[in-house]
Each structure stands twice: as structure tokens, then as C-alpha cells.
Amino acid sequence: MINSMTGFASASGADAPFSWAWEVRAVNGRGLDLRLRVPDWVDGLEAGLRKKLTASTARGNITCNLRLNREEAGGTLAVNAAQLDTVLNALNQIEERAMDAGISLAPSKATDIVTMRGILEQASFQDDGVALCKTLLADFDAVLADFTAMRAQEGATLATVLAAQLDEIERLTGQAADIIPTRQDEMASNLRSTLARILDNSDGADSARVAQELALVAVKTDITEEIDRLKAHVVAARALLAEGGPVGRKLDFLTQEFNREANTLCSKAQMKELTTIGLALKAVVDQMREQVQNVE
């Protein structure tokens, strides 16, 4: 099965206090170009996403966006344990010195301590980074599955279109092959007439040499090799479609070869019916080449 290079998938998720939305889209490209827009404070997220995308895709310009939000609700404040220990030790020293000096101090209250600078602080996003990265990477698997499924579905449609185009190329090639005997008879008759005309209008012409030159012309206009190569290219293209996977580059090369043979067929035609077939071949090959640009 072949895959298309185009695809799209989106999804959303949440794991308090975070919520997020994914969007993955891809368009045609010569190679694999990944463009990720994700929060840089979630350590390991971008590397993990690249690894997953690289393992599942071979070609295409792929953009992956993640919009991550954090609810500002209760539980976002945290006690700075180190600062609290420092403050408590300082209070103990103060109380001990006060007792030695005979000074009585009012007992310290928790509410007094928490108001001291540095005791309470906003919980850092980075504190959630490791666990959040694992959650996001696990959630991305479903998004990637949808993205891959869409590419495969479009690839199946492409395969059907390409198979039909190969059938048409094969049919036209068969028509051209059927014309060869008739064309050979016509060309032989024309060459004999040409040879007679040359000998009648040329004094001292070497009939053997003239016949040899005309034979070379006949060889150069023979289309048997072009027909054979077209048939071989059809077989190769069908094998690639059956093979599946990232075969877009190989199919693109084959369409260039199809086009070359069709051009040669037209240039050698010297026959209205064969020219018509050659032009029809070129039209089908052009259509095929457009479709092949979408194959991974």
C-alpha cells in the first residue's frame, strides 16, 4: 500500500491542571521536513515527537503544532522548603538569644511565617515538565495514528487512479504495437518508391549505397524498442504499487521514462494513427506525473 504525502489530524486533551490541542498537517515535499511548534520548557517533548514522526513518515513537509494551556487555580502555590528551614533556624536563634537576655517574645504563628519573603512561591511549570512530557507523548500516539490513517486512505485512492492510468498506457502501447506490421509495409513501399525516384534522377548513383542509407533511415524510425520499453515500464510501475511504502521517487523517475518513450514515439511516427497514439500517451503520462507528486 502506498501513502499520500498530504494529511491532517487534530485532537485535544487534558490532564489537570493542563489542557492542550494538537494539529498535524502535511503537504508534498522532496524529502522529510519536520517543523514542530511546541513549548520549549517541556524537556524532551520535541525530540520525542521527532522520533515518532520520523519512524512513521518518509517524505513530506510536516507541521506539528501544540497549544498548551495551564489552568490558574488552587494548588498553584508551593512552599519553598529550603527557605522555610532557613527562616525557622533563624527564629530559633532569635528566641534563644532573647531568652538569654531575659526578653520574652510572643510565639510565632504560621500565618506570620508564610508571609515572609520566599516561603510561598508560584509552582513552576518546569516542575511538571517530566511527567507532562510523558503524558503528551502518549496522547500524541492517537493523533499520529489518525494522521497516518488519512495518508493511507488518500494513498489507496491514488493507487486506484495510478493503476487505471497504467492500464490506459498499456492499452495505447498495445495499439501502437498492433500498427507496427502495417506501418512496416507502408514504410517499405515508401522506401522502394524513394529509392526508384533517386536512381531515376541521379546519374551514376550507387544503388547499393542509396539502399544502405534508406535502410538506416528505416532502422532509425523503428519503434519496436520504444514499445518494449513502455511495456517494461508498465510492469515496473505496477510492481512498485504492489510493493507499497515510500516509492514516490521511483514512480516519479518512471513517469519521466514514460514521457521520454512517448516523445520518441511521436518523433518517429511518420503515420497519422501512430502520432495520435503518441499524443494520447503523453496526455496520460502527464496526468500520471501529477498524481505521482503526491505519493510518499
CATH number at residue 270: 1.20.140
Q: Are residues 14 and 117 in the same domain?
A: no
What DSSP assignment string belongs to 161-188? HHHHHHHHHHHHHHHHHHHHHHHHHHHH
Q: In this structure, what CATH number is given to the domain that contains residue 134?
A: 3.30.230
Q: Are residues 188 and 228 in the same domain?
A: yes
**Count of CB atoms situated within 10 Å of the CB of 268:** 17
Please count the structural domains in the chain.
Answer: 3
- Output the pTM of the full model: 0.70
Q: Are residues 13 and 144 in the same domain?
A: yes
Q: Are residues 137 and 51 in the same domain?
A: yes
Hey, what's the cell of 178? 498492433
Residue 215 has what pLDDT?
53
Q: Which of 149-153, 161-165, 265-269 has the lowest mean pLDDT?
A: 265-269
Q: Which of 118-122, 130-134, 239-243, 283-287 has the lowest mean pLDDT?
A: 118-122
Asked if residues 27 and 6 have their Cβ atoms less than 8 Å apart, the reply is: yes
Q: Are residues 275 and 182 in the same domain?
A: yes
Q: What is the largest CA-CA distance in the chain?
A: 145
User: Mean pLDDT throughout 55-81?
Assistant: 81
97 occurs within a structural domain: yes
Q: Are residues 208 and 264 in the same domain?
A: yes
Hey, what's the cell of 130? 517530566
Confidence of residue 138 (pLDDT cuts 50, 70, 90): very high
Confidence of residue 92 (pLDDT cuts 50, 70, 90): confident
Confidence of residue 157 (pLDDT cuts 50, 70, 90): very high
Rounded Cα distance between 40 and 20, Å, is: 15
Structural domain including 30 reads: 7-73+128-152
User: Mean pLDDT throughout 132-151?
Assistant: 96
Return the percentage of the chain with pLDDT > 70, whole number: 78
Which segments within 28-174 are labelled E, that is strand? Answer: 32-37, 60-70, 77-79, 120-122
pLDDT of 201-247, one tens digit each?
Answer: 666 555 566 556 545 555 556 788 889 999 999 999 999 999 988 99
Sheet with 32-37: list strands edge to edge.
Answer: 7-15, 18-27, 60-70, 32-37
Among 202, 188, 204, 263, which Cα is nearest to 229's?
A: 263
Hey, what's the cell of 151? 495518508
Residue 199 has what pLDDT?
55
240 occurs within a structural domain: yes
Q: Are residues 133 and 233 in the same domain?
A: no
202 occurs within a structural domain: yes
Hey, what's the cell of 165? 492510468
Confidence of residue 190 (pLDDT cuts 50, 70, 90): low
Rounded Cα distance between 212 and 190, Å, is: 15
Hey, what's the cell of 49? 515527537
Q: Are residues 274 and 285 in the same domain?
A: yes
Rounded Cα distance between 255 and 233, Å, is: 9
20 occurs within a structural domain: yes
Q: Are residues 11 and 143 in the same domain?
A: yes
Q: Are residues 159 and 246 in the same domain?
A: yes
Residue 167 has what pLDDT?
97
Rounded Cα distance between 223 and 191, Å, is: 17
- pLDDT at 286 > cutoff 70: yes
48 occurs within a structural domain: yes
Q: Are residues 284 and 248 in the same domain?
A: yes
Q: Which of 55-69, 74-88, 237-251, 281-295 has the lowest mean pLDDT?
A: 74-88
2 occurs within a structural domain: no
3-state SS class at 23: strand
Q: Are residues 33 and 166 in the same domain?
A: no
103 occurs within a structural domain: yes
* Mean confidence (pLDDT) of the chain: 84
Residue 130 has what pLDDT?
84
1 occurs within a structural domain: no
